[in-house]
Amino acid sequence: MSDHHCHLPGEHCDHDHGVSLVPPPLSLYVHLPWCVRKCPYCDFNSHAGKGELPFDAYIDALIRDLDQDLPLVWGRVVNSVFFGGGTPSLFPPEAIDRFLQAASARLRFAPNLEVTLETNPGTAEHGRFDRYRAAGVNRISFGIQTFNDDALKRLGRIHDSGEAERAVKLAQDAGYDNFNIDLMYALPEQTLAQAEHDLERAFALQPTHVSHYQLTLEPNTVFFARPPQGIPDDDAAWDIQEHCQRMLADAGYAQYEVSAYARPGRQSAHNLNYWRFGDYLGIGAGAHGKISSGAEQHVLRRWKHKHPQTYMDTAGTAASIGGDDVIDAARLPFEYMLNLLRLHEGFALKDFESRTGLERQVIAEPLRTAVERGWMTLDAERAVPTELGRRFTNDVVELFLA
Ligand SMILES: C[S@@+](CC[C@H](N)C(=O)[O-])C[C@H]1O[C@@H](n2cnc3c(N)ncnc32)[C@H](O)[C@@H]1O
Ligand code: SF4
């Protein structure tokens, strides 16, 4: 690097900084699309499984899919694997093991690879966790949502609170100490005291990570078509959120993203990589990937066919690719900010340059506006969203639309 100091955002500079796009850390996302039952609030690419599920055929398809994507990432190290869904814990450990073995024969896995498996507590059988562990899964993410049994029924969940606690204990018995609990708040008729009680029951299980999501009514869901009664209004939801943020902090879970809280050193490496605008391969029905190419100096988004059967029929061929889209340079700052502004840590200006291939001057103007409005702080090296900025991310991000 040169030693001149002309790179404050907004300052004119005639030097050639030679900014170039350098491929960032790489993750692998694997989508497993089936659930026991479709929850009425859920808009993920998840399908109620009917009869025997074709686990083996699906794993074969995943491997063909991975083979097809390999040329995009030759020689690069993979730092995390995330089995998401759907309900990955419906897949038998042998299937997960077969996929991970095939993947490790094709990719360079980092020595400290994080491997997460999303688990619905209603699918946790005795003995399964030991075998997931033997297969290489070292982190579990439990979809618990709430410990209130009436609320669980209204959410269409297949488990009650007792089963959720038993599932966590089974995983702990199998040696899992690194696990996440997903909770949702602003549930129908939920009081502040109930949301508080959910966190207390979660803390008692000693998770290393808590994801605390506000229930949203997503288009194309049953809840959107027929909203349940008693959903807390914005003010009430805000009260719950603020109160819960304090409880999480007091219990030693530091918030590092809009909905993510972790014990020290226990942030989700996989999700952090998304939010830092890292790269990821997306394997499986409807999976999305984002891959940077140093040679091409561009960022490619690629997604796969959504429907599980069509996906299985076409995996490994061009027909399985739902789309390939090189992100337009004019749109890169917006896409970068969409992710980075979720993070409490913000971003280094040099990372903006290496991950987009664009000069920092490109965002000098909107950054200055964001600072003026009290949405961000900025020094020579870093831009960090303020609490206000994090509350109004949509407005902040809009500044970066070309
Ligand atoms: C793919 S699911 C996780 C695993 C598993 N399928 C389960 O539900 O137990 C990811 C998480 O997203 C959250 N989620 C799903 N739909 C949501 C919605 N409409 N609003 C807020 N959070 C939602 C839930 O907390 C859920 O656990
Ligand atoms: S919330 Fe989880 S279990 Fe429910 S339908 Fe969505 S992916 Fe499946």
DSSP secondary structure string, 31-65? EE-EESS--TT--SS-EE--SS--HHHHHHHHHHH
Mean pLDDT to the nearest integer, 134-150? 98
Q: Collect all residues with Cβ–Cβ distance below 8 Å to 123 and sequence separation of at least 6.
A: 36, 87, 89, 90, 158
Cα distance between residue 109 and residue 113, in whole Å:
6
pLDDT at 17 (0 to 100): 55
Q: Is the pLDDT of residue 11 over 60?
A: no
Mean pLDDT to the nearest integer, 164-171? 98
pLDDT at 220 (0 to 100): 95
- How far, in Å, is the centroid of ligand 2 from the Cα of 158? 10
- How far, in Å, is the centroid of ligand 2 from the Cα of 39? 5
pLDDT at 15 (0 to 100): 47
Cα distance between residue 169 and residue 116, in whole Å:
17
One fold for 26-274 and 330-402: no
- CB 163 less than 6 A from any atom of ligand 1: no
Domain boundaries, the chain: 26-274, 330-402
pTM assigned to the model:
0.95
CATH number assigned to the domain covering 26-274:
3.20.20.70
- CB 184 less than 6 A from any atom of ligand 2: no
- CB 145 less than 6 A from any atom of ligand 1: yes
- Indicate the helix (H) or strand (E) that contains 27: strand 26-32
- How far, in Å, is the centroid of ligand 1 from the Cα of 85? 9
Beta strands in 86-208 (DSSP E): 108-119, 139-145, 179-185
- CB 213 less than 6 A from any atom of ligand 1: yes
CA angle centred on 47, ends 41 and 48, rounded to 5°: 90
- How far, in Å, is the centroid of ligand 2 from the Cα of 34? 9
pLDDT at 402 (0 to 100): 75
Report whether 367 contacts 11 (CB < 8 A).
no
Cα distance between residue 292 and residue 326, in whole Å:
9
pLDDT at 238 (0 to 100): 95
Report whether 201 contacts 247 (CB < 8 A).
no
Q: Is the pLDDT of residue 9 over 50?
A: no
Question: Which range, of 6-20, 108-122, 386-400, averages the lowest pLDDT?
Answer: 6-20
Mean pLDDT to the nearest integer, 188-205? 98
Long-range contact set of residues 122-125: C-beta below 8 Å, sequence gap at least 24: 122/36, 122/157, 122/158, 122/159, 122/163, 123/36, 123/87, 123/89, 123/90, 123/158, 124/89, 124/163, 124/166, 124/167, 124/170, 124/171
What would be the CATH architecture of the domain defined by 330-402?
Answer: Orthogonal Bundle (1.10)
- Of 197, 222, 217, the closest CA to residue 146 belongs to 197
Q: Is the pLDDT of residue 262 over 80?
A: yes
Q: Is the pLDDT of residue 4 over 90?
A: no
Tell me the pLDDT tens digit for each residue of 61-84.
999 999 999 999 999 999 999 999
Is residue 389 classed exposed, middle or buried when 0-12, 13-18 and 19+ CB atoms within 10 A define those classes? buried
- How far, in Å, is the centroid of ligand 2 from the Cα of 48? 9
Q: Is the pLDDT of residue 13 over 50?
A: no
- Look at ligand 1, atom 14, and give the residue with the nearest C-alpha: 42
In DSSP notation, 288-330 reads EEEEEETTTTEEEEEEE-SSHHHHHHHTTSGGGEEEEEEPPTT
Ligand 1 atom index nearest CA of 120 = 9
What are the Cα distances from residue 396, in Å, to 23, 86, 136, 207, 276? 26, 32, 40, 32, 17
Cα distance between residue 209 and residue 402, in whole Å:
36
Q: Collect all residues with Cβ–Cβ distance below 8 Å to 101 and sequence separation of at least 6.
A: none
Tell me the pLDDT tens digit for each residue of 320-374.
999 999 999 999 999 999 999 999 999 999 999 999 999 999 999 999 999 999 9
- Please say whether the dihedral angle defined by the alpha carbons of residues 44, 47, 52 and 55, taken in this order, is positive or negative: negative
Query: What are the residue ranges of helices labelled H in 341-392?
Result: 349-356, 364-372, 387-391
Confidence of residue 279 (pLDDT cuts 50, 70, 90): very high
Mean pLDDT to the nearest integer, 130-146? 98
| Residue tagged 């997503």 (tokens) | 218
Q: Which of 31, 32, 39 to mutate to test the pocket of ligand 2 (most atoms within 8 A of CB)?
A: 39
Tell me the pLDDT tens digit for each residue of 304-320.
999 999 999 999 999 99
